[in-house]
């Protein structure tokens, strides 16, 4: 863990916002001492890990990539972080992200972008670009991310790493700074399917502190990864989602996807093409539901409770003027755009037309998945329509950036688990394959993913 304790890393990737040099070293020494004393440690004890800066860490800065929280040191650990400590993992520090997890490139971080280790002129994906780039740059073997509309899976795709969004409610949201509460889900990121499974097993499980936490047992994801590593998928039915490939997807991405389908067939799986007709409306529904929930969640950043407080000069300072000045200075452009959009969509007279309609579309998307999973065990698609594009390319064109989320968003709307894993290269850059499974069947992702990896 040599290097600066904050700021860009020497290699220029800038995966970390904060490195806990002393804390990590002390923790690693403690694990060593425990091991020497004969303690019964789990399989990941002593393994270093990066944590997306959206999860609260006691005693370590937590900014969610925003000026609004600059300098805030939470007094408590997120449940996920508590579980990492309990399993003996060594938290290296906090990874960079788009402000409040809004974005697909990490360029919306208030503290500078992260670069893709494959090509430093390109995006590492987002919002969790830091967590993915840390893996691809071999700065950490494991990281934790959060996925509201693809922020674990799309960065994994463009950095050639593995990322899983578990079933909604499988991993606690306690201490995960909320973007859109009905979509948010923390999950594991690593360089291999098995490493991802081992981390998944550590962070998943019921948490009484999260009212949407699932009460049921976590599926055996490690056993499933082991089973899949045999390379045999006999009897497994794989559905290729018709609407999530072809037009709008780069030819190199489609080519790698079709090769993956061939690989599934060669492994003994039955591969069919399935249509999920309402999935084409998922993107539009998401970009109404997300800003609506975000505008409500971000209302708490008012200059009174946490982080930044800007007191305007002059006479007549009121709570209202402090709030206005703080929010004007503290939020970046993308956060402001979504707060305005969400506030509008939720306002009286528009609520039914926008938010209400989006919720109906959400139900239709869920029904499409229910019907599809009546016919197949998993669904597959490319994770993203393109490989990593150039930094700056879509920064001034929000709609073009949103369009890149077309394949990842449906899983969040439906609450189902999804994995992205490497499917080869296109013009020297990584392409991701996405695997989707029914709610609480996260183990299927690992079986099928591990088989593709062999
Ligand atoms: N690109 C998505 C967005 O901007 C990702 C959000 C997320 O998963 N946190 O909303």
- Ligand 1: which of 65, 97, 149 to mutate, most ligand atoms within 8 Å of CB? 149
Query: Ligand 1 centroid vs 330 CA: distance in angstroms?
Result: 20
Q: 306 falls in which pLDDT band (50, 70, 90)? A: confident
Question: Which pLDDT score, from 0 to 100, does residue 12 have?
Answer: 85
Query: Ligand 1 centroid vs 205 CA: distance in angstroms?
Result: 24
**Ligand 1 atom at minimum distance from 148 CA:** 8
- The residues, any chain, with a CB within 8 Å of residue 109's CB and separated by 6 or more, are 17, 65, 96, 97, 98, 99
- The two tokens of residue 74 are 């939470």
Q: Which of 387, 378, 373 is nearest to 434 (CA)?
A: 378
- The two tokens of residue 292 are 């609506």
**Ligand 1 atom at minimum distance from 104 CA:** 1
- The two tokens of residue 193 are 């399917």
Q: 4 falls in which pLDDT band (50, 70, 90)? A: very low
Query: Ligand 1 centroid vs 147 CA: distance in angstroms?
Result: 7
Q: 301 falls in which pLDDT band (50, 70, 90)? A: very high
**Ligand 1 atom at minimum distance from 404 CA:** 1
Which member of 151, 172, 213, 245 is catalytic?
A: 151
- The two tokens of residue 187 are 């999950």
For residue 179, pLDDT beyond 60: yes
For residue 315, pLDDT beyond 90: no
**Ligand 1 atom at minimum distance from 150 CA:** 8
Q: Give residue 409's Cα distance to chain centre.
A: 11
For residue 7, pLDDT beyond 70: no
In this prediction, residues 83-102 reach a mean pLDDT of 98
Query: Ligand 1 centroid vs 247 CA: distance in angstroms?
Result: 22
For residue 307, pLDDT beyond 90: no
pTM: 0.96
In this prediction, residues 330-343 reach a mean pLDDT of 97
For residue 255, pLDDT beyond 60: yes
Per the document, the length of the chain is 454
- Residues 331 and 390: their CA atoms lie apart, in Å, by 24
Which member of 127, 213, 245, 292 is catalytic?
A: 127
Neighbours of 236 (CB within 10 A): 20
For residue 435, pLDDT beyond 50: yes
Query: Ligand 1 centroid vs 128 CA: distance in angstroms?
Result: 9
- The two tokens of residue 60 are 């370590």
Query: Ligand 1 centroid vs 286 CA: distance in angstroms?
Result: 10
Q: Are 156 and 383 in contact (CB under 8 A)?
A: yes
Percent of the chain topping pLDDT 70? 98
Q: 6 falls in which pLDDT band (50, 70, 90)? A: very low
Residue with tokens 């788009």: 98
Question: Which pLDDT score, from 0 to 100, does residue 362 have?
Answer: 98
Pocket of ligand 1 (CB under 6 A): 101-104, 127, 147-151, 179, 290, 405
In this prediction, residues 235-246 reach a mean pLDDT of 97
For residue 151, pLDDT beyond 90: yes
- Ligand 1: which of 148, 185, 189, 383 to mutate, most ligand atoms within 8 Å of CB? 148
Query: Ligand 1 centroid vs 82 CA: distance in angstroms?
Result: 25
In this prediction, residues 272-294 reach a mean pLDDT of 97
Which member of 52, 94, 165, 394 is catalytic?
A: 52
Ligand 1, atom 4, lies closest to the CA of: 103
For residue 280, pLDDT beyond 70: yes
Question: Which pLDDT score, from 0 to 100, does residue 3 have?
Answer: 39
- Ligand 1: which of 64, 99, 101 to mutate, most ligand atoms within 8 Å of CB? 101
Active site residue 127: yes
Instruction: State ipTM.
Output: 0.98
Class of domain 16-229+382-453: alpha beta
Name the average pLDDT for the chain: 95
Write the CA distances from 100 to 1, 156, 184, 346, integer angstroms.
Answer: 27, 19, 11, 20
**Ligand 1 atom at minimum distance from 147 CA:** 8
| 350-381 per-position pLDDT tens digit | 988 999 999 999 999 999 999 999 999 999 99
Question: Which pLDDT score, from 0 to 100, does residue 11 have?
Answer: 65
For residue 262, pLDDT beyond 60: yes
Active site residue 165: no
Pairing of strands 429-436, 270-274: unpaired
Per the model's pLDDT, the better-predicted residue between 408 and 349 turns out to be 408
For residue 258, pLDDT beyond 60: yes
Q: Is the peptide bond before 127 cis (omega within 30 degrees of 0)?
A: yes
Query: Ligand 1 centroid vs 362 CA: distance in angstroms?
Result: 17
| 190-216 per-position pLDDT tens digit | 999 999 999 999 999 999 999 999 999
For residue 404, pLDDT beyond 50: yes
Q: Which of 8-22, 71-85, 187-201 has the lowest mean pLDDT?
A: 8-22
Question: Which pLDDT score, from 0 to 100, does residue 8 have?
Answer: 41
Write the CA distances from 275 to 33, 243, 244, 269, 375, integer angstroms.
Answer: 56, 7, 9, 19, 11
Ligand 1, atom 10, lies closest to the CA of: 102
- Could you write out the three-class secondary structure of 15-63? CEEEECHHHHHHHHHHHHHHHHCCCCCCCCCCCEEEEECCECECCECCC
Helices and strands in the chain, H and E counts? 14, 11
- Ligand 1: which of 405, 406, 415 to mutate, most ligand atoms within 8 Å of CB? 405
């Amino acid at each position: 863990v040599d290097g600066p304790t904050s700021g860009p890393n020497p290699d220029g990737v800038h995966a970390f916002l904060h490195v806990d040099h002393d804390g990590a070293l002390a923790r690693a020494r403690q694990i060593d001492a425990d091991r020497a004393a004969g303690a019964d440690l789990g399989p990941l004890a002593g393994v270093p890990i990066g944590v997306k800066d959206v999860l609260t860490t006691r005693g370590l800065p937590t900014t969610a990539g925003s000026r609004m929280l600059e300098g805030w040191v939470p007094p408590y650990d997120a449940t996920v972080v508590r579980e990492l400590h309990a399993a003996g993992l060594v938290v290296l520090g906090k990874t960079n992200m788009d402000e409040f997890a809004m974005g697909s490139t990490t360029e919306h971080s208030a503290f500078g972008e992260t670069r893709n280790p494959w090509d430093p002129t390109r995006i590492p994906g987002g919002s969790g670009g830091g967590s993915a780039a840390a893996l691809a740059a071999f700065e950490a073997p494991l990281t934790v991310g959060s996925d509201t509309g693809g922020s674990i899976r799309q960065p994994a795709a463009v950095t050639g790493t593995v990322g899983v969004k578990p079933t909604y409610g499988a991993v606690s949201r306690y201490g995960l700074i909320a973007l859109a509460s009905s979509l948010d889900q923390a999950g594991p990121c690593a360089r291999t399917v098995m490493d991802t499974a081992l981390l998944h097993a550590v962070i998943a499980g019921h948490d009484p502190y999260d009212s949407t936490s699932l009460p049921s047992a976590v599926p055996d994801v490690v056993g499933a990864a082991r089973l899949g590593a045999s390379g045999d998928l006999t009897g497994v039915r794989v559905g290729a989602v018709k609407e999530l490939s072809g037009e709008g997807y780069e030819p190199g991405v489609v080519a790698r996807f079709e090769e993956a389908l061939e690989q599934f067939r060669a492994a003994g799986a039955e591969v069919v093409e399935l249509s999920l007709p309402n999935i084409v409306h998922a993107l539009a529904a998401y970009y109404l539901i997300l800003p609506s929930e975000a505008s409500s969640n971000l209302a708490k950043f008012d200059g009174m409770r946490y982080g930044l407080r800007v007191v305007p000069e002059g006479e007549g300072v009121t709570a209202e003027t402090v709030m206005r000045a703080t929010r004007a200075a503290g939020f970046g452009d993308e956060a402001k755009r979504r707060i305005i959009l969400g506030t509008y969509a939720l306002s009286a007279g528009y609520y039914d037309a926008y938010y209400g309609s989006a919720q109906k579309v959400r139900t239709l998307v869920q029904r499409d998945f229910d019907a599809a999973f009546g016919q197949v065990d998993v669904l597959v698609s490319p994770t993203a329509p393109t490989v990593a594009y150039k930094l700056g390319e879509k920064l001034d064109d929000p709609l073009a950036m949103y369009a890149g989320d077309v394949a990842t968003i449906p899983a969040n709307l439906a609450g189902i688990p999804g994995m992205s894993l490497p499917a080869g290269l296109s013009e020297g850059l990584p392409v991701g394959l996405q695997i989707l499974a029914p709610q609480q069947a996260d183990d299927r992702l690992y079986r099928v993913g591990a088989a593709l990896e062999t």
